[in-house]
Amino acid sequence: MDPSQHVDDINHPHDDEHGSPAAAADLAAQPWDPPGRRIRFADTACIAFNGTGRPDDPITAEPVLSPETCNALRCTADGLLVPETGIEAGPGLRVTPPEEGDCPQVWRVDVNGAWTQTSATLAFRHDLTSGAREWEILTEVPTLTIPRAGVWEVNFQVRGWVSLPAPVRAQATGVTAGMYKNGTLVNGTELMVVHISEPSGGPGNHVQATGSRQFMHGFDAGDTIRLAARRTTTAGSAAVVSNLDGRTYLTAHWVAPAGDTAG
């Protein structure tokens, strides 16, 4: 090749016809091919090509985005974007994200329940010595602290013991239990555990019974709950007992977030 010749001179030799302004304008109006070879671009399902390839109409490639509403991929001024997905766990749920590089990306959602209870094997006897219908905290039953705000299912069981001597007149007594929250009785939690009555001149009697109560109640995190009991009269003797023959205990199980209401 003559060193004075350019590669374009070989593919399109200069002559008067090609060098004229009219010829140059005609060339610009024709589909353009790079010198010495022809290039063709074919669309695919994901890429579309536009333009003729002329200097004033370059070929551009654009992504083909599915119109499905569930398609998160979109073309932005800064490039293709798939928004990152995050899951925020509400109370009672635990979310485990996928490992980096996992395919598919699987997010695991589990129930994250909470519960608290006293020992199921408490052994004690608490004699009720206060006045009639005066509440006494059962100090032998540990205090429960609520760890999470929400609606809790509370269950307590109390074993009551009452005794009446042979009366000279009709007498009666009994044991009632209830739940205290933050030092105050929760109305509606009262439970008649055992009751006994004797007519005048009767032989006297001794009775034991176990009662339980179950209910829903709203708590704030950090609230405390305790068991309490009272005797209905001062006749005879009354006590709360827990041993191998029957236990006294308190449990609470989280069931719903704060603000949840009964259906």
Query: How far is C-alpha 114 from the chain's CA centre?
Result: 11
Which residues, in sequence order, are CB contacts of 64 under 8 Å at separation 6+? 43, 44, 45, 46, 47, 48
SS3 per-residue string spanning 23-92 = HHHHHHCCCCCCCCCCCCCCCCCCEEEECCCECCECCEEEECCCCCCCCCCEEECCEEECCCCCCCCCCC
Q: What is the pLDDT along the chain (263 residues), one digit of tens a residue?
A: 455 544 444 444 444 444 555 655 555 555 555 555 566 778 887 888 888 878 888 888 888 888 887 777 888 888 888 877 777 777 777 888 888 878 787 888 877 778 899 999 999 999 999 999 999 999 999 999 999 999 999 999 999 999 999 877 889 999 999 999 999 999 999 999 999 999 988 888 999 999 999 999 999 999 999 999 999 999 999 999 999 999 999 999 999 888 777 66
d(CA 58, CA 49): 10
By the 10 Å C-beta count (0-12 exposed, 13-18 middle, 19+ buried), 64 is classed as exposed
Which amino acid, residue 116?
A: T
The H-or-E segment that residue 221 falls in is none
Structure tokens belonging to residue 170: 């009709």
3: left (phi over 0), alpha (psi -120 to 50) or beta: alpha
- pLDDT at residue 12, rounded to an integer: 46
Q: What is the dihedral of CA 52, 58, 64, 69, to 10 degrees?
A: -120
Instruction: Specify the CATH architecture of the domain 115-256.
Output: Sandwich (2.60)
Three-state DSSP state, 87? coil
Which one-letter amino acid corresponds to residue 38?
Answer: R
Euclidean distance between CA atoms 200 and 111, whole angstroms: 59
Would you call 19 helix, strand, or coil by DSSP? helix
pLDDT of residue 27: 52
Which segments of the chain does DSSP mark as H helices, in order? 7-11, 16-19, 21-28
- Which pLDDT score is estimated for 19? 52
Q: What pLDDT, on a 0 to 100 scale, did the predictor assign at position 258?
A: 81
Q: pTM here?
A: 0.64
Domain chopping of the chain, boundaries: 7-81, 87-113, 115-256
